[in-house]
Chain A
Amino acid sequence: MTLKVEDLTVCIGDRRLVGPLGFSVARGEPLTILGETGAGKSLLAQAIMGALPRGLNATGAVLLDGQRLDSLPERARQALWGRRLAMLPQEPWRALDPLMAAGSQVAEVHALIGRTPWQKARSLAEQTLTRLKLDRRAGAALPGTLSGGMAQRVAFAAATAGGAGVLLADEPTKGLDEMRRDEVVRLLADFVAEGGILITITHDIAVARALGGQAMILREGEVVESGVAERVLSAPQSAYGRELVAADPATWPLPESRPATGDSVLRAEALSVARGQRLLCAGIGFDLPAGGRLAITGPSGLGKTSLLDTLAGLIPPSAGRVERLGRARAPFGLQKLYQDPPAAFAPQVSLATSLDDLERRHGLPPDRLPSLLQRLGLAPDLLARRPRAVSGGELQRLALARVLALAPAVILADEPTSRLDPVTQRRVMAVIAEAAEEAEAAVILVTHHATMARHWALEVLDLERNAEVQTAA
């Protein structure tokens, strides 16, 4: 069985969005298409399926085992969905019907497409879910109550229950932390091992590395490089390919460990954090020196953001205490960076107005903000725009400038780069490290990306192993 694509191009009216590109995928040799988010990669999957949104059209040939799919009438092509071609959607918690139990959404595929009687269909669904390590309770639950990783597995079961031999996975690990990401990669690898054809679309290099097979790098809709995954990812030929590989935190140089330079600015002792009745984490203790870099990692749900809010003084600790020392005692000595850059600014006013308000409120010297902006590589004409009109990376740097203007002693960064693509992520993390060092501000970074934490921070606090502070090794 082979899926072949020739000269596939997706256009909207006259404008070309993606392509032309061509490739051939066989059993046992998965293809991973890499590139930044928004490069139109999802459109490829939709074009191959024949499920493009209204207004977009695709040209070029799609052949499955020699038979042309693109020339089939719409109904015939839609009849292939689930039965020969399957697509795993980007955000499964949005793709599953919120009003129907998870198990039923898998069982109905067996019953209505596999034409098995309902009883048998339900037990088949149960078996599949158990194999994917989801128990009966998960099968009977509504998708809204399942975690991201669990929802992804349900979506996988539902998408593949029709018996399709070809799976198109569109950003299957988006929004998942490292452990869940690895689980999904295993799922996909099993699919390949059982004789399926897999095309994965992702911006995460670790996924491409783990799956192996072939890799293709896209930039702004065009193929920049392609070949055997191992070779492309270890020794990329193209400039963009090299940038992309360098953006993987696993390839970052480890930070030089410096001896404890200054006095502590923030100390936590036997800290416990709870939200409402639920205790999230307990027994946290650390001593943050001036200019230090501490990363707090752990999977979602363990209260990383709540811990950060407790350190910032926004919520009281349920036990233990947080002590501010030295410069951190000043009124605005602790500042925060947010996960979604546009959400941290007033959406309906220009950035210039927001910064002016800050200047006036604190009586800042008129050259402080402009010089910070220049130092962080931001053009002044950016300020005339509103937050939504500026890219995520630039906006996060602007947020950093805003925070540094108040000369804080500690910067609390809550997943500051998880919404950014890998190349921008690398740049922003480097900027945060440099700027903080210059301003003699300590940084506490919260992230689910354990590898990035190890390669960026001087000390790592892993919440899962419960409050053990380790120095980067």
Chain B
Amino acid sequence: MTGGIARFIGLAGIAAMAALALAGPLLVGHDPARQNLMASLPPPLSEGHLLGTDHLGRDMAARLLAGARITLSLAAFAVLSAACFGTGLGILAGWAGGITDRLLGAFADGVLALPGLLLVLLLAAIHPNSWWTLYAGLALTLWVEFFRMSRARTRIVVAGPAVEAAQMLGLGRWHIVRRHLWPAVATQVLTLAAFGAATVVTALATLGFISVGLRPPTPEWGVMMAELLPNWREAPWTVMAPVICLAFTVACLRLCAGREEEA
């Protein structure tokens, strides 16, 4: 599959998911939190419930859409914050050099002292089940990646003849950022953003599954998977639903990221 088609498919998938998330549970017409213990675990396509209900009778489709909202909004905010701060500070550090570079670099190294997931886990321990704490932790961890990439590229570009020539010709700083620095980091920023979003989605589900991130009754996909797993035998399709949503979202984001290999 060529890069272009893959990206397009990825983008289309995410756009579809985002549209559904925006429309939200209202689309399906059920309240995701409303329980009905009498009607638990019917299969999908039963009357009134497009995807069936979970073990407490809550409508699956509504919960999945609510979960999409939580996941995509967290991913979008975290990645956007990390990208803006990381890239901006990285360019600053790479260009200014000297003490600015060292201070920012030291801060970045400090964040990397612990593995990312552990850092987020610890922060989430202070305020459990908090969207904002998870957002802060994830943004903090992702920021470093953008910072390092843009700092490294900026250093190379600024030391090269093209920037020197531009300076000798009297073209100012704004020109250098616009024509030299931004194009050098732009594609990488987009790739890192897509990978970062995939990472956030996965991390959120992981933390939810082991109950240290968002917790029941929050309709987050990882939480739902953990809740529904004991009912595997009776209602496998109900467990599969959040899995499919997660897999679809992550796959689309990775397709958007393109062929870049990690590590």
Contacts and interface: CB of A to CB of B under 8 A. Distances in A.
In their complex, do chains A and B touch, with some C-beta pair under 8 Å? Answer: yes
A402 B165 CA distance: 10
B98 interface: no
Contact of B161 (A331, A340, A348, A357): A340
A336 B172 contact: no
A343 B160 CA distance: 7
A334 B179 CA distance: 23
B175 A361 contact: yes
B172 A361 contact: yes
A191 interface: no
Contacts of B179: 346, 348-349, 353-354, 357
Contacts of B37: none
B229 interface: no
B102 to A, nearest CB: 19
A347 B170 CA distance: 18
Contacts of B166: 346
Given A347-B183, A349-B179, A353-B179, A332 B168 contact: yes
B31 interface: no
Contact of A357 (B164, B168, B175): B175
Interface residues of B, number: 16
B157 to A, nearest CB: 9
In which size bucket is the chain A interface? 20 to 34
Contact of A332 (B161, B170, B180): B170
A286 interface: no
A339 B160 CA distance: 12
Interface in B136-175: 160-162, 164-166, 168-172, 175
A312 B166 CA distance: 14
Contact of A348 (B164, B170, B171, B184): B184
Contacts of B170: 331-332, 361-362, 406
B172 A347 contact: no
A347 B179 CA distance: 9
A314 interface: yes
Q: Rank and list the top 10 A-B pairs by shortest CB-CB distance, nearest first.
A: A348-B183, A346-B179, A338-B161, A344-B165, A343-B161, A344-B161, A346-B180, A332-B170, A349-B179, A336-B168
Interface of B: 160-162, 164-166, 168-172, 175, 179-180, 183-184
Interface of A: 312, 314, 331-332, 334-336, 338-340, 343-349, 353-354, 357-358, 361-362, 399, 402-403, 406
